[in-house]
Each structure stands twice: as C-alpha cells, then as structure tokens.
Amino acid sequence: MSRVLKIGSRKSALAKLQTYLVLDALRKKYPDLPVELFFREASGDQDLQTPLWKMGTRGVFTQDLTKELVDGRVDVVVHSWKDLDLDGHPGTTILGVLNRADQRDVLLWKKSSLDLFSPTELKIQTSSPRREYNLGKFLPKLLPSRYKTSALIFTPVRGNIQTRIRKWMESDSDGLVLAKAALDRLLSEDFPEASLLEYQEIRNFLNEALDTSSFQILPLSLNPSAPAQGAIAAEVRSDDLWSLNILKSFNDSKSVAAVEEERGILRSYGGGCHQKIGVSVLERPYGRVLYRRGISDSGEVLDLERQFSETPAPAARALSDCYPVPGEAVKQKRVPLDSENGYVLAVDGQEDRILSSENLARLDWLVTRGNAFPQLDPSLKHEGLVWTSGLKTWFQLAERDVWVSGSLDALGEDELPQDKLFGKPVHFVKCTHVGSTEIASGLERVLTYQVRPLEEHPDLSAKTHFFWMSASQFDRALSLYPQIRDRNHACGPGITFSHIRKVLGESARLSVFIHYESWLQSLGLKEFEGTKLGNQTEKNPTEFPA
C-alpha cells in the first residue's frame, strides 16, 4: 500500500490514547500500511467553565475534526463515540472500532471526607444532568448508614480527566463522578505508547489520587450510562472506500448494535447533553439487557429494565404449574458459623483449609447475601474491597454501615473484576454457605453461614415451570423429585446456570433471567400482569393477587 492513512483526533491525553489503540490494531493487521497522526484542540476543549449542556452547540468535541475530514485534510477521525452528534454528518460514515470498554460511571470519594461521621452534606462534582438526576435518586441507598442524613449537593466541573481530578482534590467537594472507561484506559500500560513520559506522569498522578480515595462503581441498573459511553468510533468520508475497507476490519458488530440502540433511544427524546437520560444496552451470552432511567424534557419519568432472552421460557398454563410463586419457597434459617478459630476456605479440586480472620481481612470479598458478610472481631479492620452479587445485598450492607465498592448487579460472576482494578491487584473470595462447595466455581469460597430448612419441601411432582435461586436449591429438589428433570427450568446467570446446564445437559429447557420477577412476568399468567411482585419467601398480600 503506497497511500498514507491520515488519522486525526483531539489532542487530549485520552483522545490520543484511543487513537494509539486504533493505530496499534492497524499495525498488527496491516504492518506495511503507512500512517500519520494529527492532533488538535476542539472548541469544547477551550471553554472549561461552561457546562456542556449550556453551550447550545452539538458536537463541541467533534465538529472541528469532522470539518477537517470532510475537507480532505485527514482520512479518519477517532472519536469517543458518546461525543458524536446523534444526527451524524452528511457525507461521513461512523464505524465502531475495537471492543467497548466498561460502560459504568465511578464515583470517587475523598477518604478524608469519609472519615467524618454523618456530615450535614456531601458535595459531588459532575457537570452531567443525567448523573445528577439519577444519583440524587439512588445514591443514599448505596451509602453506609452514617451518611443517610447527609444532603447531596452537586457542583459543576469541566476539563479532561486529570484536570477534573485536580480541581476536585483542590476543592472542598467530597465526591467526583467519572466514566470508568476513561480511568481504565489512562491507567493501562497495555499499548505501545504507554512508555511515553506523558502517560507515565498521568498514571503516577492518577495512582496518587486513587491512593487517597475510596470509590463506588455505579451499577448500570440504577445509573445507565450516556449512550455509547466506553465505545470508540472512527469517522470516515462515505466515498472513501479505501479507508472504509481498512477500518471495517475492526468493526465490533455487537458493540455497534448496542450503541446504535442506545443512541436511537436518546434521539427519540430529542437528544443533547442537557438530557437527564441514561441508556445502556448490554450484550451477554444469555441475551440482551436494556436499562433506561431518567426524566425527559416533558417530565416523563423513565424507569425501565428489560431483558431479551436468547432462550425464552414457554408460557405456563396455570399458576399451580409454577414453582415458586411469591411466598411459596421453603423458608430457611441462616445461621452464622463460629469463626473463633478461623473460616473454612474451599477451592475446587483441593482439600478445604482454615483461613484465619487476620488473613481474611486482607482479601476482597464477594458477598452473596447479607447473611454471608463475615463477622470479624472488632479489633480487625477489613482492608479489601466489598462486592455484592446484587443490589439487594448492597442495600442491606449499607444499612449496616458497610462500605460497598461495587456489585455484579445480578449479572453473574463473570462480571467480577479480574486480576486488577484501577491498576491495583484484586483477590476476591466468595462469602457463602455450607454446601455451596459441592458446586464447581472458579472462585475461592469462604463459608460464613449454614442453611437450615424450617419446613418440609413442597411436592413438586406436578410442577412444570421452575426458577432456581441457587444450585443447591436445584440439587435438593431434583434429588427429591427426579421426574422434574425434563421440565422447564430457569435461573439467574452465572454459577447456578452453569451447574444446572451441566446436570441437565445441553438439550435441557433452561432459560436465564436476571431477576426472579422477570421470570414470573414471562410466564404469561394474568396473575402477574402489571403487579408489584413479592419474592420467593415473602408474599405481600396487599400487592400480590389472591
């Protein structure tokens, strides 16, 4: 190839880094392709005071670069896709390149602020109307109880990641909301230009800031992201087939489909940075998940979580065919284990061993439910992270004044941070119950409680539709009623699904639902239409139909 591919981008460190990622992919696929890079400031980089939604102009980070593309000065422009105008530009084509990074927001907190007990207010910096609206609604439930009475005050902040962190650290604000993808990329050393002095200095600065901070990674089910957050786009002239063909080879079709759906939803509400609307689409092996939350210009409150399953469950004929309906599951007592001499640590394929409380306090904990939280001696301080399987457990621990840093958001253990988080090593153990070690898991497990049934198991012999909250619940039922093997089963994603699939085989009728309530509504029964549902063991007689 003799033609030089000219790539343009903003000159911020993050924008250049994203361009370097594209360049690295090009070098690997087309090692003989000559490439030139061009970096420039965008108009949105020059005014660091006015919130974006007040600027009154769309594409403040992209329009200058798009003009250079249209004028032929560059062949490709690399953008953060979320910065692009929803309506596009005539004569150019947008391609999604490389895999999408984490879509979530992260909320950084100064440790010095958290040392205060029950402050009258907590100041959080963000210039995003979406973040301010959604955080104002759910954040009090995620904070430890000592902050429940603290008023949340939101203040604007502008600039690149480093500038915003510096402004935050020098201010009297307590928290700062950022896109996790931006932090992840700037902390990464996994690109050839990572050794440049500029990126070494940025990593050092970010690590110093993180050392004095605590964080909460905000779940998408409560705080959907800006459409396309975490995705990189390449803009190319539509008539430049040579450049289009090169960039198409890096097109991530699943990310593109998700981003286009997110942007389409925001467009239907008018678009623009002023919108208080978050939209996130997740593509998972078990199907697509859509979160949409916020409030539209017309005052419509958006509060949607929807799963589109790859293996939908067939409709049930009658309520009596289903197990469990709210209030029907076997009631159990969860009894904490005596930990005076340490905790049992179970690892697949190895003999159990005793883990001292001192060593457990140094590890990161995945807490499967509120009862599973280890009860350390008050003289021991937990030094690791606390993660939860779902939001209910997060809320429960927050009520007990526990700091939780993140959640699997009921999406399964594949969502757990691996190896490193914000540049720091992580070592998670799963805090769970006696009996769970019979189920294969890639995680080390710490046994913190045991389960004792409080009543006889109901007769399942005539049931046709089942939802299993755990693999052990399924195993016990199958041992009592082997005839249910070939019926319709459902469960959440993760270890439970993997275990049931292994036991029943690939041809089994097994569906995945993120929530038990979603399964109930999928049954096609009038009893569950438009109804606020109870859980498996607690039936709300005022809201559940008789």
> Is the Cα dihedral 244, 248, 252, 257 positive or negative?
positive
**Domain span(s) for CATH 3.40.50 in the chain:** 332-453
Q: Given this model, what pLDDT does residue 49 score?
A: 54
**Residue among 186, 142, 138 nearest 161 (CA):** 186
- Going along 30-87, which residue ranges are E strands? 35-40, 76-80
pTM for this prediction: 0.91
| 492-522 confidence digits (pLDDT tens) | 998 899 999 999 999 899 999 998 988 998 8
Residue 388 predicted with pLDDT over 50: yes
Q: Given this model, what pLDDT does residue 409 score?
A: 96
Q: Given this model, what pLDDT does residue 61 score?
A: 54
CA atoms in the 13 A half-sphere facing the CB of 280:
26
Hunting for tokens 């422009």 — which residue is that? 77
**Domain span(s) for CATH 3.40.190.10 in the chain:** 5-101+229-252+260-274
The residue-averaged pLDDT of 37-50 equals 68
Residue 62 predicted with pLDDT over 80: no
Q: Which fold has domain 332-453?
A: Rossmann fold (3.40.50)
Q: Which residues are within 8 A (CB) of 367 and not within 5 positions of it... i.e. 6 or more apart?
A: 373, 386, 387, 388, 389, 393, 397, 431
Q: Identify how many contiguous H helices and E strands the chain contains and give both numbers.
A: 15, 27
Percent of the chain with pLDDT over 70: 93
Q: Which fold has domain 105-217?
A: D-Maltodextrin-Binding Protein; domain 2 (3.40.190)
The DSSP secondary structure of 371-383, one letter per residue, reads GGS----TT----
- Name which residue leads in pLDDT, 272 or 280: 280
Mean pLDDT (the chain, rounded):
90
The residue-averaged pLDDT of 218-225 equals 97
Residue 51 predicted with pLDDT over 70: no
Q: Given this model, what pLDDT does residue 47 score?
A: 52
Q: Which CATH class is domain 5-101+229-252+260-274?
A: alpha beta
| 345-374 confidence digits (pLDDT tens) | 998 878 889 999 999 999 999 999 999 999
144 vs 399: CA distance, rounded Å: 6
Q: Given this model, what pLDDT does residue 50 score?
A: 56
Q: Given this model, what pLDDT does residue 526 score?
A: 87
